[in-house]
Amino acid sequence: MQKYISILLVGLAAACSQPQSNTPPTAIQPKYITDPVNFDSDDPAIWMHPTDLSQSLILGTDKRENGEGGVFVFDLKGKEDSTRRITGIDRPNNVDIAYGFRIDSTTTVDVAVFSERGKNSIRVYSLPDMQPIDGGGIPVFEDSPSRDVMGVALYQRAADDSLFAIVSRKGENSPTDGYLYQYALTYQDSLVQGRLVRKFGQFSGGDGEIEAIAVDHQLGYVYYSDELFGIRKYHVDPAMGDEQLAVFGTDGFTEDREGISIYQSADSTGYILVSDQQANAFRVFPREGTIDNPHDHPLIKSIPVSTHESDGSEVSHLAYNEDFPRGFFVAMSDNKTFQIYDWRDIEAALLDSK
């Protein structure tokens, strides 16, 4: 009996040490879960292989201070490729990817850009070799008392292939207008450099902050999560001005609005998925708006998922392989992993009766 009680107590202690989840039993389950990062998974991105989509990669940040953080690289089954891992980063947060960044008149390269909060900078690495091409980092928010960079999203302007990075920071001491900074990225003197081109975006203030940013390249919009208030929408091209186009998702969230990702069903239709972090769910809105107003984004449905306290996500609509013939959705979970979902499972939940 004493041995049985000891085993029972050990089991209870182990169970209590795990994160307690309120995820319902009806939550969608991932097809794969990545190998764990070392410390604190935060945000994923998808690199699409140019000739064989089945060889595409998933990047995920590992958030840790004092140069112990990094970026992990996984295949589409979640297995880490440790030869590509980036190390020695001081608290990386969000990561995004762009294709065909021009190095010179004849050379382009795909790039991963991620924030390095501990150095108030963004970093630029070439893909898929994961080599730095930024001279150690591009400083951001240099004229502001609030410099703790968090979110980053990339916009590539189709008209001239100009590449821009939109970055956000911690909420403390941040302005209620001009919260986001947008930088033009160019390659000069053998490294990537950034030039501030605009400050834009409202912030509700208080105890919240802005981390999640997503760009709709085809339609020309940028969305971001004002965590305790709602999702805000602007033109992503600086030439189009700084007018706020929409605010949605202002109710129904348990607490924080977090990771945003955009699924493209067709050129102008699809879904905007926003993490309802404390509910362990993603709330889904129409990408195209409504028939009467492209900037009206009413809730379609809230979808429970098995990720816990998800901070960041990414999605792709392309046919990658037999596992993901209609694309996949990848979301961070707070157990050091990223969960990879077959889009068909997400879509089935969306089309199911409420």
Structure confidence by residue, pLDDT tens digits, 207-246: 999 999 999 999 999 999 999 999 999 999 999 999 999 9
- Which domains does the chain show, CATH number per domain? 32-351 (2.120.10.30)
DSSP string, 251-311: SS-SS-EEEEEEEESSSS-EEEEEEEGGGTEEEEEETT--SS-TT-----EEEEBS-SS--
Q: Provide the 3-class DSSP secondary structure of residue 21.
A: coil
- What is the percent of the chain with per-residue pLDDT over 70, rounded to a whole number? 92
**What is the average pLDDT across 75-103?**
97
- Work out the average pLDDT over 104-132: 96
293 confidence band (pLDDT: 50, 70, 90): very high
pLDDT number for residue 7: 37
DSSP three-state, residue 319: coil
User: pLDDT band at 2, cuts 50/70/90?
Assistant: very low
- Looking at residue 341, its pLDDT comes to 98
pLDDT digits (tens, 9 = 90+) for 166-182: 999 998 889 999 999 99
Question: Given pLDDT bands bounded at 50, 70 and 90, which one contains residue 104?
Answer: confident
Cα distance from N-terminal residue to C-terminal residue, the chain: 49
Confidence of residue 25 (pLDDT cuts 50, 70, 90): low
The model's confidence at residue 250, banded by pLDDT at 50, 70 and 90, is very high
Query: At 22, is the pLDDT very low, low, confident or very high (cuts 50, 70, 90)?
Result: low
pLDDT for 105 equals 83
Average pLDDT on 48-68 reads: 97
pLDDT value at residue 353: 59
pLDDT band at 18 (very low <50, low <70, confident <90, very high): very low
* pLDDT, average across residues 78-97: 97
Q: What is the mean pLDDT of residues 194-208?
A: 96
pLDDT of residue 26: 85
Q: If you average pLDDT over residues 267-277, what whole number do you get?
A: 97
- pTM equals 0.92
Give start and end residues of each alpha helix (H) in the chain: 2-17, 343-351
Q: Is the pLDDT of residue 19 over 70?
A: no
Mean pLDDT of 261-286: 97
